[in-house]
Amino acid sequence: MCICVNCRHVHNCVTYHLIQKQHNYRYNKKIISTYFIPKETLINININYIDKSIYFDWDLMECLSFVEIPGSWIN
């Protein structure tokens, strides 16, 4: 699971938006006015084979800029 969901920076983090893009997440098309660039992130990419197709699952596992605020993704 991506740690971004409970992070204060989830709405303007460039790494989180990269992960959304890799998941083909389409609902959030708005342009971010203030970008946040996190420090020392570690992204885990799992490769899954389903019905002779390859799927990638991207998750942010570590981030030195993580500031926990549970439920900050709800907005």
The tens digit of pLDDT for each residue in 27-56 reads: 555 666 678 999 999 999 999 998 889 988
At residue 34, the pLDDT reads: 76
Provide the terminal-to-terminal Cα distance of the chain, rounded to the nearest Å: 19
Token pair 């596992």: residue:
61
* CA 17 and chain centroid, separation: 6
Contact (Cβ atoms closer than 8 angstroms) between residue 6 and residue 71:
yes
pTM of the entire predicted model: 0.72
Here the tokens at position 27 are: 């609902």
Determine phi and psi for 15, rounding to 5 degrees: -70, -45
Distance CA 21, CA 13 (A): 12
